[in-house]
Chain A
Amino acid sequence: MALLLLVPALALLGVFRLVPIGEAFYLSLTRWNGVGEPEWVGLANYEALLKDRTFRTALTNNLAILLAVPAWVLLPLFVASLIHRAGPGARFFRLALFLPAVLSPVVIGAFFNVMLQYSGPVNELLRMAGLGWVASEWLHSSRTALPVVMVVFIWATLGIGVLVYLAGLAQVNPESWDAARLDGAGFWQVQRHITIPELRRVIEFWTVIVLISSFTAVFPFIYTLTRGGPGYSTYTLDYYVYDKAFQGSALGYASAVGVVLLVIVGGLAALNVLLFRRGDRGLTA
């Protein structure tokens, strides 16, 4: 009986998930231009990867993105704490801050492309404020492009993190805060001594999501904001897979890049599964 209920799901997941994962490994050992049959080349793709400067740039950019993780973890926590005690406005702020998360990266990309043009509104505002020297080709300068992509990304996903943290804050006993208030603790002290310890589980959970997302979720933003440019300055591993496969017609080589990405994310995912199991004893026991 259980089998009957599971068969459709397992069939779909088997054909469209498990088989493709196996195939990714196989294709990474071939040369294939997308038409005809892949040609077996053994480990040649991986050997080439070691000498590939673009691959190294993409990997470096992924590591640079990791530098944004602390902000990406703590900013929503900070904002959620503010909303939690905002009183009557809380519902509005929660709703408003989530809005960017329901927008397509294509919409967000198009919007910021317009906003950040050299003669666009952002630079105009800076000039009006007497900060004309800061005005820049934000998305077309190799120094600023990647940081700008990350700022946009964190802005776009802020509402999701806030929602996760708010759900956690709702579980905390309000008396902890009352006690701290009586002791005269300030906002930052409360954050450090009550909010962060109380929400440890939620922070861990969100950190793992963020770590994985930093390798897997930035692609659509890069595609619509910079297409990897200028030069290779915003190439990431997943963008490189797409670029090699569908612009460069090197699908075997691109698969090897994909496998490297899978190994990195697999390590992080193992951590994720551990956390999920810990949180759901009731479900898996």
Chain B
Amino acid sequence: MTQSGRPTSRARGPIVPGWWVGFGVLSLLAISAIYPFVFVALTAFKSEPNYASDPVGLPSPPTVAYLERALEVGRIGDYTLNSLLVVGAAVLLVVAVASPAGFALARLRFPGRTILLVGIVGLMTIPAAVLMIPLFRLVGQLGLIDNYLGLVLVYATLNLPFSIYLVAAYVSGLPREILEAAEVDGASVLDQLRSIVLPLSLPALATIVTLVFLWLWNELLFGLLILQDPDMRTLTVGLATLQGQHTTPVPLLAAGLLVSMGPVLVVFLVAQRHLARGLTAGAVK
């Protein structure tokens, strides 16, 4: 193993003081990153006495009682549906609004374009804490507290600046000749967007769908403020409420956490190839 491991590692990059030290550090970090999933999955199938006597071992015997209770008492199933509805609608809205805007900023010439682009990038960094009170008031004035639409609009806007920037960065990297050829053929701007830019930008759009889904699925603050009706809670808020009650047994909480981890894990594993591009759009060029 050492014999086969060393040459590969050396051939690829700088030397380390002993290949195994680096490998060991990485392995420890990887275990710490994977362990929460293992812990939650095991605990969700334990009974309370089982968990109390053996918090880290295998469930013996395994039980689905707490998963059932999480769905009934904790209403985790209802909250999952709420989250899917709100997050799904927000992701669609983000893509529908950000793609034409990003395309226009990247490819069309008009006065104020640069300032607009810099302004939109600047908007990315406004802290949620600054927006929470005015947005709470605005959504209230629009009569959209305890209305899914209120949270959908807030969620979509939170992620618009990043998504517009990403589309613009991606489209401006596409070969110029393709659009110029289309223009010569008499294709209108809308035609170009629909039949050339959008199909070619699918990787960027996939990145946006993935990242925005993950962020919004996990969002806590605005979900807490805008959907206060216990029937309408998002999954994150439902779990935070469950966790806040000190009487909640750990296996019940774990069962809820397990349900909430499912969709993110699936999305992440399916789309992880696209993640790097999005997160590094500004870093490496």
Give A contacts to B, CB under 8 Å.
1-3, 5-6, 8-10, 12-13, 15-17, 19-21, 23-24, 27, 79, 81-89, 92-93, 95-100, 102-111, 113-115, 120-121, 124, 155, 158-160, 163-164, 166-168, 170-171, 174, 177, 180-181, 185-187, 190-191, 194-195, 201-202, 205-206, 212, 215-216, 219-220, 223-224, 237-238, 241-242, 245-246, 251, 254-255, 258-259, 261-262, 265, 268-270, 272-273, 275-277, 279-280, 282-284
Q: Which residues of chain B come closer than 8 Å to A174, judged between CB atoms?
A: 12-13
Q: A13-B160, A107-B260 are in contact. Are A98 and B15 (CB under 8 A)?
A: no
Complex CA distance for A98 and B153, rounded to whole angstroms: 29
Partner of B129, one of A89, A186, A212, A219: A219
**Cβ contacts under 8 Å, A224 to chain B:** 220, 240, 243
Choose among B33, B122, B129, B169 the residue that contacts A216 (Cβ–Cβ < 8 A): B129
CB distance A283 to B106 under 8 Å? yes
Assembly CA distance A279 to B267 (angstroms): 30
Beta-carbon contact of B126 and A107 below 8 Å: no
* Contacting pair A96 B33 (CB below 8 A): yes
B202 to chain A, nearest CB (A): 19
Other-chain contact of A96, B30, B129, B135, B243 (Cβ < 8 Å): B30
16 new A-B contacts, CB < 8 A, other than A8-B97, A86-B23, are A5-B104, A9-B97, A9-B101, A17-B157, A88-B8, A111-B257, A155-B32, A164-B279, A187-B16, A215-B127, A220-B220, A238-B129, A268-B125, A273-B118, A282-B285, A283-B106
Which residues of B12-38 are within 8 A (CB) of A? 12-17, 22-23, 25-26, 29-30, 32-34, 36-37
Closest 6 CB pairs of A and B: A85-B13, A238-B129, A20-B134, A104-B218, A9-B101, A16-B157
Give A261 to B128 CA distance when docked, in angstroms. 10
A219 with B126: CB separation less than 8 A: no
- In Å, the complex CA distance between A115 and B97 comes to 42
- A99 near B37: Cβ-Cβ < 8 Å: yes
Q: Is B56 an interface residue (CB 8 A)?
A: yes
CA distance A1 to B8 in the complex (A): 55
Residues of A within 8 A of B92 (CB): none
Binds A, one of B58-66, B68-76, B268-276: B268-276
B55 adjacent to chain A (CB < 8 Å) = yes
Contact among A190, A201, A265 for B126, CB-based, below 8 A: A265
Pick from A96, A113, A262: contact of B130, CB below 8 A. A262
B33 pairs with A279, CB closer than 8 A: no
- Residues in A with CB closer than 8 Å to B30 are 92-93, 96-97
Smallest CB gap from A165: residue in B? B283
A1 to B97: give the CA distance in the assembly, Å.
15
B147 contacts partner chain A, Cβ-Cβ < 8 Å: no
Q: Does B209 contact A (CB under 8 A)?
A: no
Is B123 within 8 A of A262, CB to CB?
no
Indicate if the CB atoms of B108 and A2 lie closer than 8 Å: yes
